[in-house]
Amino acid sequence: MKYRIKKQNCLPYDKVHEECGVFGIATPEDKELSVAHEAYVALFALQHRGQEAAGIAVNNRGVIHCHKDVGLVSSVFNQTNLDAMPGQMAIGHVRYSTTGKQSRENAQPISITHVKGNLAIAHNGNLVNAGELRREIEMGGGIFRSSNDSEVLVYTIVRERLKCGSIEEAVVNTMKVIEGAYSLVIMSPRKLIAARDPHGFRPLCIGRLDGSYIFTSETCALDALGAEFIRDVAPGEVCVVENGELKSMHCGIECKTSACVFEYIYFARPDSVIDGASVELARQEAGKYLSIEHPVGADVVIGVPDSGIPAAIGYAKYSGIPYGVGLIKNRYIARTFIQPGQEKRERSVRLKLNALRTAVEGKRVIMVDDSIVRGTTVARLVKLLRDAGAAEVHMRISAPPFRHPCFFGTDIPERSQLIAHGRTVEEMRQIIGVDSLGFLSLEATRKIAVGCKLGFCDACFSGEYPVEVPEEAEKNMFESEIEL
C-alpha cells in the first residue's frame, strides 16, 4: 500500500513569532541561592520570546534533574516543583517552535546521560544543516525523541565529547560542524557553558549576581534578578564557568557578523540592550526615519500595542504630530488565542484590540506597526479604526516588507503566504484598505540600532543571506498526516 503525505493547513497567524529564550546560572556552593527560583524569575522576564513551552534543568552535584512542559512559565512551574529542584547550576528555556511541532518532547532543556556523564542544553536559533546532520546520525543508528534541531546539537556535541578531553573542546569542535544560528547554554556535571555562533545571529549576554555567573538571551532578565550586566558573549565565543571562575575561548571561525536586525524591530523587550544598542531607542529611531521617508498630513499618531508603540512615539516626536492611544489591548487574553473560522478569528481580533473612539473619531490617523506578514490582521485593525469614525487611516511599518523566508530561527512563512510577495506597495495598500502605506527603507533599517557593535542580517527583507541556505526550510515528514 502506498502512502501520501498530507499537507497541513496553515495556522491563521498574521504575526512573526518570537524566538526562544535561554538562561543559565552557576552559583558557588557557599552561597544561599536557589538556582531553580532564579531561573524561574529570569524565564518570566524572557516569556515574550516564546509562549509554547518552558523548562528548567538543575544540576545538583553532578546529577541533573529537568522539569519542562507545554505552556507558559506560570503554568509549568509552581512553588512545589521549584522547591524540589536544589542545585548549584541551572539552565532554562522558553520556546516558540520554528522547527518541530508543539509537544512536550520538543520542549527544552534537553537532558541526557551519555558514557562520559550527564548533559543538558538549551538552544535559541536554527541550524541550516540540521537535516543533513540528522540523516547522518540516523543512518548510524541514532534515535531521536523530538523533531527539533536542538537534539541534533546534543548528538553532535556528545559525539565530539567522546573524541576529546573536555566538554568545552567538544563544543568548539561542534561549532566547526554545525551551520546557522545558535545561542547555547550547556550544563555538564561540573561546568556551565555558553556559546554563540560566529555570525552572532541571536543575542546572548553575561551577568553577575552575588558571586554567581549568569548567561541569558536579554539584559531584561538580568534586571529582573537584580544582576549586574558584564558584557555580551562575542560571536564565535565559548564561555566556561567552573569552580566559580569564568574563562573564555574562541571557536576560531572568523566571518562577518550578522545579528538579526528584527531583534531590534520586534523580538526583544524594549528595556533590553543588545550588543551595545538600546532596543527602545532603536524602535524610536525607526519611527524617526519613517517620518522622514513617509511624511503625511495627519491629526494623531497611534501605535499597534505593544511593539508598534515605540516607533509611533518616534514618528510623532520627529514629525510634530501628536501621539495618542488609539488602540486598547486586552491584557488578559493569551497570545496564543486562536479561533478557527473567519468569523471567529474576526471576533478574536476585537477581543485582543479595540479602537478608542474618542481618540480617532473624525481624525486623520497614522497607525504604526512593526511589520505586516499576511496582512489579514492589519486589515481588521483598519476596519476597527474606520468603524470608530477615523476620517483617514495611514499605515506606517517600522521595517521593510517581508519578501523572503528566514532560516535562522524566525518563523516567517513561505513566500507564497507573504503579502509582499509579488506585490507592489500600492497593491498591498489596496488589500489592507488604508489611505496610504509606507515601509521603512532597508538603508534606514541598517541604521536604527545606534551603538550596535555587530553587523546585521536582514535577509528576510533583502534576500541576502550571510550563509548558504537550502531552497526552503526542511519539514519533518513524520509530523504530517498520511493519506491511505
Cα 276 from chain centre: 18
216 touches 257 (CB < 8 A): no
Would you call 237 helix, strand, or coil by DSSP? strand
* Alpha-carbon span 170 to 162, nearest angstrom: 8
272 touches 220 (CB < 8 A): yes
H-helix or E-strand spanning residue 347: helix 342-352
Q: Which three cell numbers stand for residue 332?
A: 488578559
Q: For the chain, what percentages of helix, strand and coil (3-state, to nearest 5) are there? A: 30, 25, 45
Beta strands in 18-155 (DSSP E): 21-26, 53-60, 63-70, 89-95, 110-114, 117-124
DSSP sequence for 88-126: SEEEEEEE--SSS-SSGGG-S-EEEEETTEEEEEEEES-
Residues annotated as catalytic are 20
Q: Which three cell numbers stand for residue 405?
A: 523566508
- Beta-carbon contacts of 231 under 8 Å, excluding residues fewer than 6 positions away, are 205, 206
* Alpha-carbon span 484 to 64, nearest angstrom: 43
Closest CA to 446 of 262, 202, 298: 262
H-helix or E-strand spanning residue 136: helix 130-139
Closest CA to 54 of 75, 38, 69, 41: 69
